[in-house]
Every structure is written in C-alpha cells, then in structure tokens.
Amino acid sequence: MAKMSSTATVTRAHLENKLALAKRCSREATLAGAKAAAIATVASAVPTLASVRMLPWAKANLNPTGQALIVCTVAGMAYFVAADKAILSLARRHSYESAPDHLKDTSFHGGAAAAARPRPPAFFRP
C-alpha cells in the first residue's frame, strides 16, 4: 500500500478548530442580523404607524395585520441581508488567512519588483 502524505491527513484538532471557527462566524452573523432587524423594525414601524394615522388611504386600507406584515417583512429582509453579508465577509477573510502565500499576492505584476515600486493612483492606471 502507498503511504499517504502528511498533508493529506486531517487531525481532530484541525476539525475542532474549523468547527469552532464556524460557530463563531455564525454567532457573529446572527448578532449582525439581529441588530439590523431591530433597526429596520423601528425604521419601518414609525412611518407605517404614522401614515395610518395621517393618510386617509392608509387608514382605510391598512388594517393591523397589514401593518404588522409590512414591519415584519422589512425586519426579516434586513436580518437575512445583514447575516448573509456578515457570513460572506467572514468567509472571505478566513479563506484569505488560510490561503497559501503565492495566492495572497493579488498585485498585477507580482513578486518583489512590484512591492518595491509604488502603484500609481487608480485614475492614472490604464
């Protein structure tokens, strides 16, 4: 039988580290979503409730169920957008940290020559 290389084996500590990282990322995303949902709830409830009291059309057509549906929809959308954004940014950051060094160099020219020369501002680049 052929021997497996040491890079092909996955240790239990590595898997536990990955699991802990995933739990921490999901917790951060949940908190970001909850904060966004709370802000969106207030931001949508105030104009919805004010318009029902002041506008005749809203008073006639938006019953309490409709008002709650508007507020809950906005809060739910804010939660999922903020949580998804947090998960994607954390995944991007952690995949960059664990990437090999040759993949971290994202400069156009690469190598030491590009690091020695300062890059011109973006509006001068072709």
Residues 42 and 71 in one domain: no
Q: 73 in a domain, yes or no?
A: yes
pLDDT tier, 10 (very low <50, low <70, confident <90, very high otherwise): confident
Residues 48 and 85 in one domain: no
Mean pLDDT, rounded, for 46-63: 94
Q: Are 28 and 90 in contact (CB under 8 A)?
A: yes
Q: Is the pLDDT of residue 52 over 60?
A: yes
Mean pLDDT of all residues belonging to the chain = 82
Residues 24 and 43 in one domain: yes
The pLDDT > 70 percentage for the chain reads: 73
Q: 123 in a domain, yes or no?
A: no
Helix 64-97 vs helix 12-54: angle between axes, to the nearest 10 degrees?
150
Element (H, E) at 91: helix 64-97
Q: 115 in a domain, yes or no?
A: no
Domain of 26, in residue numbers: 10-55
Cα torsion 63, 66, 68, 72 to 10°: value is -170
Residues 69 and 49 in one domain: no
Q: 68 in a domain, yes or no?
A: yes
